[in-house]
């Protein structure tokens, strides 16, 4: 396999136990990265790491709750002690609660910001503080197309993702002079537990693809759900040297569902 600047790098992936984060961990490991897989779900994290190692590739699991900034710092320290300087960071850990805005509790709203926004900030800050003096590194933040298009019953989630995407672009600006790139990948409906958890019945997939006019949702022009691997390939591209002159970009991977917004 051609080296696109991933081989031998230490790649931190948060949310690596399930879904899109696991696919990203697999994709980096396949390209020869030494993956530090971070997640709060210990058992699932162990099984993702074992699957990577069973293939003869490199991954180490670090259980962590990204909502806890002190623990995030300790784990980032531990990763660098164990594996060496972090060259790539993919922030993927995220949570979704749905419901009309007027029905959301204080706790619902805070819970989404705690992981999607604050957690991403804690991990980015900790890793970028170490990358900056080395003047080397690539950061990718997984947002959502719901951060740029209003979605019924996803108001708090979309707001948490919009905040994260804005923060990531400012981080890219502040780190550009140090040669560090920071980009966003915004998936649309991607076939994971998170998406399936939103479906009330067996027609969920069909309705997602065709759209739901009663919710002013247009559907997916490419006529299919995204796969975790579709998103992972976009993250790998932005983390690689193929994207060496790209920073502060938001790459939407949604089959056209946001109509390019």
d(CA 132, CA 162): 25
Nearer to ligand NAD, 33 or 253 (CB): 253
Nearer to ligand NAD, 52 or 115 (CB): 115
Please pick, from the candidates 195, 232, 234, 235, the single residue that binds ligand NAD as defined by CB under 6 A: 195
d(CA 149, CA 56): 41
Comparing CA positions, the residue from 169, 168, 207, 208 lying closest to residue 188 is 208
Nearer to ligand NAD, 86 or 92 (CB): 92
Angle (CA) 115 80 161, round 5°: 20
Site membership for ligand NAD, residue 41 (CB under 6 A): yes
62 is an active site residue = no
| Pair of tokens at residue 7 | 């081989």
Q: In 149-259, which ranges are E strands? A: 180-187, 250-253
d(CA 115, CA 107): 12
Site membership for ligand NAD, residue 66 (CB under 6 A): yes
| Site mask for ligand NAD (CB under 6 A), range 97-136, x = bound | ------------------x---x-----------------
Q: Which residues have a catalytic role annotated?
A: 157
Instruction: Point out which residues bind ligand NAD (CB under 6 A).
Output: 14-15, 17-21, 39-41, 65-67, 92-96, 115, 119, 142, 144, 187, 189-190, 192-195
């Amino acid at each position: 396999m051609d080296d696109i600047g991933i081989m031998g790098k230490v790649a931190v992936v948060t949310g690596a136990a399930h879904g899109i984060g696991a696919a990203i961990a697999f994709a980096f490991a396949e390209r020869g990265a030494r993956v530090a897989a971070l997640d709060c779900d210990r058992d699932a994290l162990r099984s993702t790491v074992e699957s990577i190692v069973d293939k003869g590739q490199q991954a180490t699991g670090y259980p962590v709750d990204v909502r806890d900034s002190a623990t995030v710092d300790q784990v980032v320290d531990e990763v660098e002690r164990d594996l060496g300087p972090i060259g790539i960071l993919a922030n993927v850990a995220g949570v979704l609660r749905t419901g009309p805005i007027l029905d959301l509790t204080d706790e619902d709203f805070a819970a989404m910001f705690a992981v999607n926004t604050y957690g991403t900030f804690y991990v980015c800050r900790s890793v970028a503080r170490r990358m900056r003096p080395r003047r080397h590194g690539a950061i990718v933040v997984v947002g959502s197309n719901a951060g740029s298009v209003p979605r019924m019953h996803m108001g708090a989630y979309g707001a948490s993702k919009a905040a994260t995407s804005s923060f990531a672009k400012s981080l890219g600006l502040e780190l550009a002079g140090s040669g560090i790139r920071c980009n966003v990948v915004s998936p649309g409906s991607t076939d994971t537990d998170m998406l399936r958890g939103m479906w009330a019945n067996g027609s969920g997939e069909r309705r997602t693809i065709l759209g739901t006019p009663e919710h002013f949702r247009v559907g997916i022009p490419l006529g299919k759900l995204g796969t975790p691997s579709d998103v992972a390939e976009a993250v790998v591209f932005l983390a690689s040297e193929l994207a060496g002159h790209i920073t502060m970009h938001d790459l939407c991977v949604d089959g056209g569902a946001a109509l390019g917004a």
